[in-house]
Structure 1
Amino acid sequence: MFVLPTTGAGLVLLVVLLFPGLAFVLVRERRSSERRPSAFRETSAVVFCSVATEAVALSLFAAARWLMPGLTPDVGRLLREGGGYATRHYAALSWWGGGLLLFACGLAVLAALLTRDVPHPSATSAWWVMFHQWFPGENPLVGCVLEDGSYVQGRQASFNVSADDLPDRDLVLVEPLVYRAPGAAEAVAVPWGAVCVSARRIVTMFVAYPEAATPEGAAGAVTPGSGPASP
């Protein structure tokens, strides 16, 4: 049973001890497919990561205490004497406590960096698969047929990383941009630097990958610039 602290100092200590888990979640959210887990699952991830990384940090402290007893705080005396020992050795306790917390946060950040680009397939969208999972780091050429019959093509610059395939999100394309108006026969180059396309208006999307990096089982790569002039 999880019991919340009843004093201000206890609450501050609880928040501080959850820093590693918070660092893990924040770093992972920066580059991974954005999911919307329940409050329980998100809280559990923060608590689990904090406990795991702090357990590793405390294990290393125990080893250091065994190897260098004269250079590490005496936890036994701290538990027996309480505030008296803490007052006399506040500098050492502060340095070791802060260092162990930073070490735990560093472990959490490292874990987030190692796992940020490998989300489970159930937690990704079609956009994430096309723009990141198959060719991470690439900015492929993208052509979109819109619901009014127009066509726009450009280099993918930014996309919404939500794991839900929702219509209320946008795709940003940058130059070289090509546009074909509704009813027109040919697509023409336009002088603008960027365009924002609403997912709600997209009927079909074409993505041109580097020819040498076509994933196994995927369709043959499209040569950049050869996107369809008409749907």
Structure 2
Amino acid sequence: MPTTFTGLALLLVLLLPGLTYTVVRERKGSDRRLTPFRETGAVVFCSVLTELAALALFAIMRGLLPNLTPDIGRLVREGASYARTHYAELAWWAGGLLLLACIFAALAAAFTGSRPHSSATSAWWVMFEKWFPGENPIVGCTLEDGSYIEGRQASFNVSSEDSPDRDLVLIEPLKYRAPGATETHALPWGAACVSARRIVTMLVSYPPAPEQEESAAGAGAGAQVSAPAAS
């Protein structure tokens, strides 16, 4: 940890955009557990890349609006004397560029976090998010005791590891079949929590594709038109 104010400021500048990227990506995508080395490298790389983008934008603004931006050449040549005279302007611009870098990092995480590669996700993520993102499909689970439960998927663990130590939340309409029974009955409750450790088989029902709906509608219309001719 840094022991001086300058060291602390440099640490924040170096890590804050990368930390923003990591937090937003965890909220948007699959939670993949990285090694400390890879996680630190991703944070630093993202911070450096977004800060370079913010500096590039500052350079463009410097060329277009020289009277409204700090003179970096004088800051390099004069050093502390220029900083003491223009400390308020430098502080505002430094904070603004850091905030801009964090915004760039958040946008990058929002764009890439919802599209993780299948190799970095669990089977649950592939079934619930990759193929039909934003949908809440009907899920049926056969449990290890032979029972069966069905409901609409409401929440699931986004960890990239296919671990048995996670849960699946189903909401109404809920259906249940007891072990050894042949009929499935509706449950009067609003939600159910199913442990992955007890699931043997999982079945997922997706909404029909648009082209399938159009084909079905066209077939129905054709049947209606041909019906009078048949009579």
Deviation at 1:82, TM superposition (A): 2.6
Match runs of 1:43-122 below 5 Å: 43-122=40-119
What TM-score comes out, normalization by structure 1 length?
A: 0.86
What TM-score comes out, normalization by structure 2 length?
A: 0.86
Determine which of 191, 199, 216 is the counterpart of 1:194.
Answer: 191
2:145 matched to 1:172? no
Question: Whose helix proportion is higher, 1 or 2?
Answer: 2
CA distance in 2, matches of 1:66, 1:5: 35
Unaligned runs of 5+ in 1: 215-231
CA distance in 2, matches of 1:29, 1:162: 10
Deviation at 1:75, TM superposition (A): 1.5
CA spacing shift, 1:19–1:213, aligned 2, 3 Å: farther
SS across alignment from 1:27: helix
% same residue: 69
SS across alignment from 1:153: strand
Which string of whole-angstrom CA distances, capped at 9 and with x for unpartnered residues, describes residues 167-214 of structure 1?
010000000100111122211001101000000000111111112269
Q: Give the AA of the match of 1:59.
A: A
Which string of whole-angstrom CA distances, capped at 9 and with x for unpartnered residues, describes residues 97-152 of structure 1?
11111111111111111111211121011101111101000000001010011110
Match runs of 1:20-39 below 5 Å: 20-39=17-36
SS across alignment from 1:91: helix
Paired residue for 1:183?
180
Match runs of 1:202-217 below 5 Å: 202-212=199-209
Paired residue for 1:221?
none
CA distance in 2, matches of 1:104, 1:47: 13
Determine which of 2, 7, 20 is the counterpart of 2:4.
Answer: 7
Root-mean-square deviation (CA, aligned residues, Å) is 1.6
CA distance in 2, matches of 1:160, 1:175: 19
Question: Segments of 4+ in structure 1 off by > 6 A?
Answer: none
Q: Give the AA of the match of 2:59.
A: A
Paired residue for 2:130?
133
Task: Count the aligned residue pairs.
Answer: 211
Q: Do 1:17 and 1:101's aligned partners in 2 also have CA atoms closer than 8 Å?
A: no
SS across alignment from 1:211: coil
Deviation at 1:8, TM superposition (A): 3.1
Deviation at 1:76, TM superposition (A): 2.2
Q: Give the AA of the match of 1:25.
A: T
SS across alignment from 1:18: helix
Deviation at 1:6, TM superposition (A): 5.4
